Structure 1
Amino acid sequence: MARRLRFDGWILGAGTASGTRVVVGHWPRSPLGPLSDVMVQRPDGARLLLAPTREAADLIAATYAFDEVRLVPVVVQRPDLRTWVVTAGPLRLRVTTGRRPPLGRLLRAVPPPLARTPVWVGLLDRPARLLTGLRTTGSAGNGRTEWYGVQDLHVVTALDATWDGEPLGALAAVRPPVTFGFGSVPPRPSLARVTTTVQLP
């Protein structure tokens, strides 16, 4: 029987004027306990995973595609309801979130127990592709299937990011889309409340 892993938390996706795109996963509940990770795609397309432990790195890298994996402390702090501060190896990131867009209000109207179920998420995949160009379910690495049960959405309004102390530039769209897996985060920088389910073969 196939085994399913559930990660419950947030995904933050943002681009920068330098062309570096960052996707932060912050999972208070995961099969490995509380966990945060960062996926980075550089302007030349190189894909990098920043993970806090070998166990986390192996699990994530078996589901997504990377050119390099680094084991570094990954710390996510929320000094207030609108601010996220991320420290992960060479990356320093401070993000401010704002209002819900119309899609966020629609997502909030779905009862969370329903929004998290793979059956519901699978039903939304085709409408999501037609309306937004994004995927809610698909084939992940090594024969795995993945479902993104999004329950809330806020826009990102400000960003301060550095890599090895060098500024990455102003907040920008996530373009081109990131290519870690079968889908990207929204092109508009955003913070999503999400339950990710991964089915192992």
Structure 2
Amino acid sequence: MPARRRLRFHGRIAGVGSSSGVRIVVGRWHDSPLGSFGDAMVEEPDGHRVLVAPDESVAEFIAATYVFDEVRLESITVTGADPHWQVRSESLHLDLGVGGRTALGRLLRLVPRRLSTAPWWCALTDPIARVVLRGVRTRGDTGERREWYGATDHHAIDSAAGTWMGTDLGALARVEPPPRFGFSSTPPRPSVTEVTTTVEVEAT
């Protein structure tokens, strides 16, 4: 069996829907093997799935786990502090209003971080996440790599406004239907999740 190694990504994931039917998942990674970066996964109303990534290395890494119909390499920034986020790229302009901690967030804060981000704990909580948060998984296996998602906090998103490809997104809406990027989706309620993602890949 090939040797394996584990990589850890620390950051926050924002998921929002819109009245236009566009659903967006924004990654804001402050500490990772690829450095600090932002990315966006966008599913259009007709099901067309687009990855917006800052460079080829980030795009290749994400696309090895998730499925897209199109990849756009664009300078993308995710800036601002709660309660105001600004996401900017050539294709995507998005302003998010982050609200208070949810009941789920309060529960997550009760679990020690070392425990909540451990892969074995993520595997244990996966059946619960499947029931409580439709479409959400805390572990996945593509055959070539395995991933575990250790959530440590959760906040509601109260507002969202912006444009995708120059077209107004409309009002904030639930993230429905769930985006089809891979084995896990974002919760139906627009929200920000603080997460540590562990990715197991072949050692090189």
Conserved? CA contact 1:37–1:51, under 8 Å? yes
Partner of 2:150, secondary structure, is strand
Mapped partners of 2:53, 2:59: distance in 1: 5
- Deviation above 6 Å: which 4+ runs of structure 1? none
Conserved? CA contact 2:50–2:69, under 8 Å? yes
Conserved? CA contact 1:50–1:89, under 8 Å? no
Q: TM-score, normalised by structure 1?
A: 0.95
Conserved? CA contact 1:156–1:191, under 8 Å? yes
Provide Cα deviations, 1:38-86, integer angstroms capped at 9, x if missing partner. Answer: 10000000110000011111111111100000100010111x4211100
Paired residues in the alignment total 199
For 2:140, the equivalent position in structure 1 comes to: 138
Cα displacement (A) at 1:114: 1.3
For 1:14, the equivalent position in structure 2 comes to: 16
Mapped partners of 1:51, 1:107: distance in 2: 29
Partner of 1:119, secondary structure, is helix
The alignment status of 1:32 with 2:31, answered yes or no, reads no
* Unaligned segments of structure 1, at least 5 residues: none
Mapped partners of 1:131, 1:55: distance in 2: 34
Mapped partners of 1:103, 1:195: distance in 2: 16
Q: TM-score, normalised by structure 2?
A: 0.94
Cα displacement (A) at 1:11: 0.3
Mapped partners of 2:169, 2:11: distance in 1: 26
The alignment status of 1:197 with 2:195, answered yes or no, reads no
Conserved? CA contact 1:143–1:200, under 8 Å? yes
Conserved? CA contact 2:15–2:25, under 8 Å? yes
* Unaligned segments of structure 2, at least 5 residues: none
For 1:180, the equivalent position in structure 2 comes to: 181
Mapped partners of 1:53, 1:128: distance in 2: 32
The alignment status of 1:160 with 2:161, answered yes or no, reads yes
Conserved? CA contact 1:38–1:88, under 8 Å? no
Conserved? CA contact 1:177–1:185, under 8 Å? yes
Partner of 2:111, secondary structure, is coil
Partner of 1:11, secondary structure, is strand
Superposed CA RMSD? 1.1
Mapped partners of 1:197, 1:8: distance in 2: 9
Mapped partners of 1:5, 1:64: distance in 2: 17
